[in-house]
Amino acid sequence: MAASMDGRLVLLTCLLVAPLLLAGGVHGHPWGGLFPQFYDHSCPQAKEIVKSIVAQAVARETRMAASLVRLHFHDCFVQGCDASILLDNSTGIVSEKGSNPNRNSARGFEVIDEIKVALEHACPGTVSCADILALAARDSTLLVGGPYWDVPLGRRDSLGASIQGSNNDIPAPNNTLPTIITKFRRQGLDVVDVVALSGAHTIGLSRCTSFRQRLYNQTGNGMADFTLDASYAAHLRQGCPRSGGDDNLFPLDLATPTKFDNYYFKNLLVGKGLLSSDEVLLTKSAETAALVKAYAADVNFFFQHFAQSMVKMGNVSPLTGAQGEVRKNCRRLNGNHY
């Protein structure tokens, strides 16, 4: 009798405690405290909800897939993947949305809001905005033909933003290759991550202002970037004049602009990378050039590395446990009711 009582007690305790452990984070896990099953008990519908709203948004506008992938990147490079990029201006917060890399450029915030509203309805106060960004980036990639990966989850949301971090830590399109590599290294990311993740430029658009320098005055001697294919440069000049037209849009991958594939790397091989930061991967280092050639030759090799590097980027300095908070509205702190 006593033995059977004990057995039931043990069973009961396990049933009660196991979900708490799963929801609260388990130590010794391979992804720095994050793991894909984080919401399996606390919000089992979370992944489906994100996926369906991302799918609707991408069906409305294909470019949204690219914009959502980029949001996760611009989040992770500034004080870690903590949804700091989503905060609007308010008392004590200068929004990262106004930084050089993000101003008139970062987009997709309304889609994240839509996902957050649906998740707050299904599981109030449970799924972080930082995890929404990570899941939306994965779902977006898959929707336009890219690879799938399991997204480690359990990030919490920041209590602040850093516009200086956004200005300084996110690479600029006219940075040299050593500067780009240094900015990735600062995040714990290596040269393979630089090349594989740059492959995200297989989708999406860039404004004229982000590559104009290449067309007219690359090194300050009044000459175009000689690594840029001449006829492609002539085509670009038509829509990107010396002055004006700053916001005119061009595909980052001119061959297959809306499909996640390896044409971005094939373009680099023929001088048709749009940004200077793209073309330098081929022209400025043997190590990065070898990766460009390998990804151009084998799309599955690129997909494998891209998926691995996205998980790595998604694990940059997450807030976990009792750090930060789970925002109810991704645009503001829970304590902020202005």
Ligand X SMILES: *[C@@H]1O[C@H](CO)[C@@H](O)[C@H](O)[C@H]1NC(C)=O
Distance CA 140, CA 53 (A): 10
Q: Which residue ranges make up the annotated binding site for Ca(2+)?
A: 75, 78, 80, 82, 84, 96, 202, 253, 256, 261
Active-site annotation holds for 74: yes
CA angle (179 as vertex; 173, 180 as ends), nearest 5: 55
Scan for tokens 């460009």, then name that residue. Answer: 292
Does residue 89 touch ligand X according to CB under 6 A? yes
In the complex with ligand HEM, the residue whose CB is nearer, 35 or 184, is: 184
For the chain, how many residues are written?
A: 338
Q: 54 vs 87, which CB is nearer to ligand X?
A: 87
Out of 41, 72, 74, 305, which one is annotated catalytic? 74
Give the integer Cα–Cα distance in Å for 211 and 180: 16
Segment lying near ligand X (by CB under 6 A), choices 50-58, 93-101, 132-140, 141-149? 93-101
Beta bridge partners of 325: 157
Q: Which residues are annotated as a binding site for heme b?
A: 201
What distance in Å separates the CA atoms of residue 184 and residue 186, rounded to the nearest whole number?
5
Q: Which stretch binds ligand HEM (CB under 6 A): 110-118, 171-179, 256-264, 286-294?
A: 171-179
141 binds ligand HEM (CB under 6 A): no
Q: How far apart are the C-alpha atoms of 78 and 3, rounded to whole Å? A: 55
Task: Give the shortest CB-116-to-ligand X separation in angstroms.
Answer: 18
Q: For residues 309 and 323, give the distance between their C-alpha atoms in angstroms, rounded to a whole number.
A: 25
- Is 96 within 8 Å of 167 (Cβ atoms)? no
Q: Which stretch binds ligand X (CB under 6 A): 24-32, 95-103, 283-291, 328-336?
A: 95-103
Q: How far is the CB of 159 from ligand X (least distance, A)?
A: 18
205-207 and 249-251 as β-strands: parallel, antiparallel, unpaired?
antiparallel
- With CB under 6 A as the contact rule, the residue among 50, 200, 224, 307 that binds ligand HEM is 200
Q: Does 183 bind ligand X (CB under 6 A)?
A: no
Q: Does 222 interact with ligand X (rule: CB under 6 A)?
A: yes
Cα 109 to Cα 59: distance, rounded to the nearest angstrom:
17
Question: Given the rule CB under 6 A, which of 68-76, 89-97, 179-187, 295-303 is the region that contacts ligand X?
Answer: 89-97
Interatomic CA distance for residues 237 and 293, integer angstroms: 28
3-state SS, residue 121: helix
Residues that bind ligand X (CB under 6 A): 89, 94-95, 97-98, 172, 174, 217, 220, 222
Which residues carry out catalysis?
74
Question: Under the rule (CB under 6 A), what is the footprint of ligand HEM?
Answer: 63, 66-67, 69-70, 73, 105, 107, 171-173, 180, 194, 197-198, 200-201, 203-207, 210, 252, 275, 277
